[in-house]
Structure 1
Amino acid sequence: MAKVTQLKIELEQEEDGRWIGEVPTLPGVMAYG
């Protein structure tokens, strides 16, 4: 059976328009785009 977990996601937009998404409770989990 799957377990549902809520996670906080932090989003930040760089000056050049790119976005960075990070999950603070999961070290190393980041996305760029």
Structure 2
Amino acid sequence: ILSELLCAQLDGEVKNKRDEIRFVKNILKERNKI
């Protein structure tokens, strides 16, 4: 059970990191347009 909780927590962190990277990429794209 403990390992399952850890895996779920890691999955959440990875998703958050991906969202952050996507967010940053979008900002860079907008900057390049200007």
| Range of TM-score over shorter length | under 0.3
By relative contact order (CA 8 Å, sep 6+), the higher-ranking structure is 1
> TM-score scaled to structure 1, two decimals?
0.18
Which protein is richer in helix relative to its size?
Answer: 2
> TM-score scaled to structure 2, two decimals?
0.18
